Amino acid sequence: MTAIAVSTTINGDDVEYLCQPDETLLDVLRNRLGLMGTKEGCGTGDCGACSTIMDGRVVCSCLVLGAEAQGRSIETIEGMAQGAELHPLQRKFIEHAALQCGICTPGFLIAAKALLEEKPDPTEEEIRFWLAGNLCRCTGYDKIVRAVQDAAREMRGEAA
């Protein structure tokens, strides 16, 4: 198989890579670019651990070919904190203990970030629907939902 040359934008940086035609974006991120924050859970689009944002939409990177990223803009968990300063969602996940083993966490954070960008004041039901494609097998969902609600409040500038 001939490798494909891809030019894309990842977390605001221009990135070029070579990938195989049948290689997923998830494999490119982890194995070629060293961006190991995006996790592989099921590899078939069911668990959301590999969630990334592509041109503003949250997608499972295991269901995107690396070649499809050509000319697109990709956001991964590595772009979420600004230097040493965590994103409010990241901080609230820690404060609310909304994680245990951590495998699902980057996916939840990316999906929640996309939600709050589209809907700064979601209802609990909207949060649960939006995150229904992210599976956690350790801690359950209540702490995650509370963390998202708390981060949303802070991001809207309301007192905690």
Partner 1 sequence: MRYERPETITDATALLENAPDRAFVLAGGTDLLVRMQNDDFEAELVVDIKSIAGMTEISETQDAFVVGAGVPCAALSENAALVAAWPGVVEAANLIGSTQIQGRCTMAGNLCNASPAADSVPALVAAGAQVRIAGPSGLRTAAVEDVPQSPGKTSLKKGEFIEAIELAKPGPRSGDAYLRFIPRTEMDIAVVGVGVRLVLDDAGVVTSARIALGAVGPKVLLVKEAADAVIGTGLDDAALDALATACSDAATPIDDKRGTVEFRKEVAGVLARRAARIAYTRAGGSQ
List residues near partner 1 by CB under 8 A: 1, 4, 21-22, 24, 43-45, 48, 51, 54, 57-60, 62-65, 67-68, 70, 111, 114-115, 129-134
CB of 99 to partner 1, least distance (A): 19
Closer of 76 and 134 to partner 1 (Cβ): 134
CB of 10 to partner 1, least distance (A): 17
Closer of 111 and 148 to partner 1 (Cβ): 111
CB of 127 to partner 1, least distance (A): 11
SS3 of the chain: helix, strand, coil, percent, to 5: 40, 20, 40
The 3-class secondary structure across 87-152, one letter per residue, is CHHHHHHHHCCCCCCCCCHHHHHHHHHHHHHHCCCCCHHHHHHHHHHCCCCCCCCHHHHHHHHHHH
CB of 110 to partner 1, least distance (A): 9
CA separation for the pair 24, 64 (Å, rounded):
6
